[in-house]
């Protein structure tokens, strides 16, 4: 048997690759019923109706915090604002997407004792345990936090006679 020269090998290899190329080059489009994609630049934050003007914004991404079932929201906290101590009916898990979030637990409001959680950090809030969080005034950038949980959240303030949001 004669050895195949290099040119004949390239021709053979090229023809084999081109036989498979149409399938590789024409991938099917994403089926939005199977995989939904929302690019970051299309996520719309709206002023939070729960807080004072310019305190924070929210972008609902999945489900509804006020209805039964899973939900996912992105929350943006502006510097100088903290929530008052409060709790929820169900556990919540959070991931800091950008910036630094300051968190603490307990019914007594002491923002100076809050712990910083930088981007990439994870926080879990146990159901019906008082906690509070926010961004101190001296911080330059807002924080964006992805919040996951089961609705309805049923927020309860530890002290209903005090404001739900505090300027710090």
At residue 101's C-alpha, the angle toward residues 111 and 140, to 5°, is 90
Number of domains in the chain: 1
Give a yes or no: residue 8 inside a domain.
no
The band of 15, judged by pLDDT with boundaries at 50, 70 and 90, is low
The reported pLDDT for the residue numbered 18 is 55
* Measured distance CA(12)–CA(10) in Å, rounded: 5
pLDDT digit string (tens) for 86-107? Answer: 999 999 999 999 999 999 999 9
Q: How many CB atoms lie within 10 A of CB 122?
A: 9
* Measured distance CA(25)–CA(20) in Å, rounded: 9
Domain housing 113: 40-167
Give a yes or no: residue 29 inside a domain.
no
CATH number at residue 108: 2.60.120.10
Tell me the average pLDDT across 10-19: 54
Phi, psi of 22 (to 5 degrees): -55, -40
Give a yes or no: residue 30 inside a domain.
no
In contact, 143 and 99? CB cutoff 8 Å: yes
Structure tokens given for 51:
């807080």
pLDDT digit string (tens) for 64-84? Answer: 999 999 999 999 999 999 999
The reported pLDDT for the residue numbered 28 is 80
Give a yes or no: residue 3 inside a domain.
no
């Amino acid at each position: 048997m004669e050895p195949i020269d290099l040119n004949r090998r390239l021709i053979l290899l090229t023809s084999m690759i081109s036989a498979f190329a149409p399938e590789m080059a024409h991938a099917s489009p994403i089926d939005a019923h199977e995989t939904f994609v929302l690019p970051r630049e299309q996520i719309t934050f709206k002023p939070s109706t729960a807080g004072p003007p310019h305190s924070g914004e929210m972008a609902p991404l999945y489900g509804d915090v006020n209805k039964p079932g899973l939900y996912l929201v992105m929350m943006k906290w502006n510097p100088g604002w903290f929530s008052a101590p409060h709790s929820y009916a169900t556990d919540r898990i959070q991931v800091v997407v950008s910036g630094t979030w300051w968190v603490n637990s307990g019914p007594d409001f002491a923002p100076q004792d809050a712990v910083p959680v930088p981007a990439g950090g994870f926080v879990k809030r146990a159901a019906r345990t008082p906690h509070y969080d926010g961004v101190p005034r001296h911080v330059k950038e807002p924080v964006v936090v992805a919040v996951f949980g089961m609705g309805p959240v049923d927020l309860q303030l530890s002290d209903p006679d005090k404001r739900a949001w505090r300027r710090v």
